[in-house]
Structure 1
Amino acid sequence: MDEKATLVIVLVAVAILLLLLIVVAILFSVFMKRKNTLVQEQLEAQKRFEQEIAETQIEIREATLRNISWELHDNIGQLLTLAKIQTQNSGGSQQDLDMAAATIGKGLKEIRTLSKLINPEALNEMSLKEALQLELERFNRMAYLESKLTTSGTPLEIDKKIEVIIFRVLQEFFTNTIKHSKATELLVDVRYDARTLTIVAADNGVGFDYAFAKAKNGIGLTNMESRAKLIGATINYNSAVNQGTQLKLIYTPNKI
């Protein structure tokens, strides 16, 4: 092979090599651009999620304050009023004074429990099961209805912000049960499997027409559903007039 032919081969090889380098550089540039775009989209999605969480927490705080007002006025207020009447009618009787003191003590205990359940910092120190148990025990003490919590499976690792939202969704359901359902029983079942948290809450109250309530854009239903959607959970209702109400919440961590 003469020198001219060898030179041609070398030039062709160099040209092919340069072409390959250019193709690789272009592909790498496209890959990095897409990667950076994806990372940016993920960051923006996370920012939107954090913003929505913050807005939801504000909405939850306002709803919680409304419920506190109801609790203080209709329930704890009644206890303190009863204690006042017992004290006024005691006539100096130690037994009557002891009854009044016991009533005041019960009221103070309910205030302390209520303060834990509305305090985000206190909730952050409790597991979801502990918060639910505390809430249901309070219902039993106040004789709202008979309530019971059952749990099964090994608890999953769930972000505390999300656990608090799940708890607030259930609180909304509990409040509706106590205020509107005329139920005598409330059963809550918390089940963990390998990847999913499933919570079923059911009462034996008067129930309601879900389709009708949804069509009227009921605030309670809308709030619960929007909060569940925010964290990637699903909510299903099963209710009919005079047949009680059941709420089923399903959440899979890292679904967002």
Structure 2
Amino acid sequence: REGRLLAEQRRSTELARSNAALRQSLDALAGTDGEGGFLRDALLQLQTQTGAVSAYLFRAGDTDARLRLIGRASAGQFSEQPAADDPEMFFREFDMDPELFRQLRTRGSMLWRKVDRDMPITADTSQSTLWHLRMGHKANAVHALMVGERQVGFIGMLFDTPEPLPAAVLDHAHALCQPITLALELTRLSRLAQRSSEQTATLKERNRLAREIHDGIAQSFLAIQMQLDTFDDLGADAAGHVKKALEMSRHGLAEARRAVAALRPQGLQDSGLPGGIQRLLSQYSAGSAVECGLVSSPGWQALPGEVEDHLYRIVQEALNNAQRHAQARSIRVELSQAAGETTVLIADDGVGFDMAAVHARRGFGLESMQQRAQLISARIDWLSHPGKGTQVLLSWTPP
């Protein structure tokens, strides 16, 4: 009974310490002016309170899951750079071991791993495993920083003892990781918002230039051409000058029209979205065994240029995915307009994929497609299962 009371007291003490540390981290996150200072303090706190020799923090890419070292804490000191004797992969972006990621995602908490010569060495783990053995590490603790099914970062800690940390300390470490996860996600969202804003501003400027060229320069050339066409009864010399001016005006008009066209995707220059997508499909099917088909509503109504541009790029990305990853035998695109709503369906009969895994890794350009859909207030949904193909459904309604 007395032993049980002591254990409960220790557990209460550890929980109180965890709560205090978590509260301190959240206060720091709320009060800091930037991400860097908070992550530095949080990683140092994690390293010192767990007794780790070193702690490493990696950020996942905004549009993929490749990891990049952004902080290292050791002996109470912080650095944004890897140590000289760290593995080569720490000096660049790298892919996380898929099996380790699967374990961490399933586990949802910190994983303690003893380091010894019996550890399996694979192509994905050879650098880190050999580094652990060379440096004499006895154990490590790793944790995938997740927001829902999406990975935003990774933490690894090194220890000079093989004895596992008490469960309360591991829980404490897990709690300290939560504000770090939040900080990484907030920074990611801020970057994406800025990027989307910049993309919107660029597209608006391109459309403005296109309108100015079309409404101004091109119309001026056209007016000159019409005026020159009326001078049919002039003398031979004057007629020669008029002919020369007419040729120049026609050339200028053609150049202006080419400039307008250059500001839009090549596939949309002449025939709008249906024609552009038909050309895309013809390109993808040429020289391959993939059958591509387009079904479009009769009497297609042209959409605003910005909307067609983004829908075209999303279809292009979906076709790229089907070609690179799906091993599809056929790809079908359906365009329809009804009751004011425009829908685009891209379907293939390829190998499909695990939606949760792909969203977690942010692969296949899904985030880029999602961003483009958001820029025009469109909805985009994916439906896919391994072995059952993939469908991408876009829907847009005028504001």
TM-score, normalising length: structure 1: 0.53
Match of 2:126 in 1: none
Query: Which residue among 288, 291, 298 is the counterpart of 1:143?
Result: 288
Aligned length: 150
Q: Which residue of 1 aligns with 2:390?
A: 245
Equivalent residue, structure 2, for 1:196:
341
**In 2, are the aligned partners of 1:148 and 1:186 still within 8 Å (CA)?**
yes
Structure 1 residue 122, shift from structure 2 partner: 5.8
Residue 373 of structure 2, aligned match among 228, 244, 251: 228
3-state DSSP class of the match of 1:177? helix
> In structure 2, do the counterparts of structure 1 residues 237 and 119 end up closer, same or farther at CA, with 3 Å as the change threshold?
same
Q: Distance in 1 between matches of 2:333 and 2:266?
A: 24
Output the CA distance in 1 between the equivalents of 2:267 and 2:351: 34
1:148/1:237 CA distance change after superposition, 3 Å:
same
Task: Tell me, in whole angstroms, the C-alpha distance in 1 between the residues paired with 2:196 and 2:298.
Answer: 29
What secondary structure, in the 3-state scheme, does the structure 1 residue paired with 2:332 have?
strand
Partner AA of 2:268 in structure 1: L
C-alpha distance in 1 between matches for 2:334 and 2:323 = 18
Distance in 2 (CA, whole Å) between partners of 1:51 and 1:251 is 22
8 A contact 2:203–2:306 mirrored in 1: no
List alignment gaps of at least 5 residues for structure 2.
1-194, 205-260
Contact 1:117/1:123, CA 8 A, preserved across alignment: no
Say if 1:207 and 1:239, in contact at 8 Å, map to a contact too: yes
CA pair 49-211 structure 1, distance change in 2 beyond 3 A: closer
Identical-pair percentage? 31
The CA distance in 1 between the partners of 2:331 and 2:262, in whole Å, is: 18
2:281 and 2:344 mapped to 1: Cα distance? 14
- Letter of the 1:53 counterpart: T
Moved over 6 A (4+): 116-119
Q: Distance in 2 between the 1:167 and 1:252 partners?
A: 16
CA distance in 2, matches of 1:117, 1:187: 28
Larger relative strand fraction: 2
> Could you tell me which residue of structure 1 aligns to residue 8 of structure 2?
none
If each structure's helix is expressed as a fraction of its own residues, which one has the higher value? 1
Relative distance call for 1:248 and 1:121 in structure 2 (3 A) is closer
Partner of 1:53: 200
> Per-residue displacement from partner, 1:98-150 (whole Å, max 9, x unpaired)?
xxxxxxxxxxxxxxxxxx99963662333100001111112222215101001
Alignment partners' CA distance in 2, 1:117 and 1:208: 36
Identify if the C-alpha distance between structure 1 residues 242 and 121 changes in structure 2 by more than 3 Å, giving closer, same or farther. closer
**RMSD between superposed Cα atoms in Å:** 2.9
Deviation at 1:52, TM superposition (A): 3.5
8 Å contact kept, 2:322–2:348: yes
* Structure 1, unaligned runs of 5 or more: 1-47, 58-115
The reply to whether residue 131 of structure 1 matches residue 276 of structure 2 is yes
Matches within 5 A, 1:108-187: 120=265, 123-187=268-332
Q: 1:235 to 1:122 in 2, by over 3 A?
A: closer
**Separation in 2, partners of 1:219, 1:183:** 15
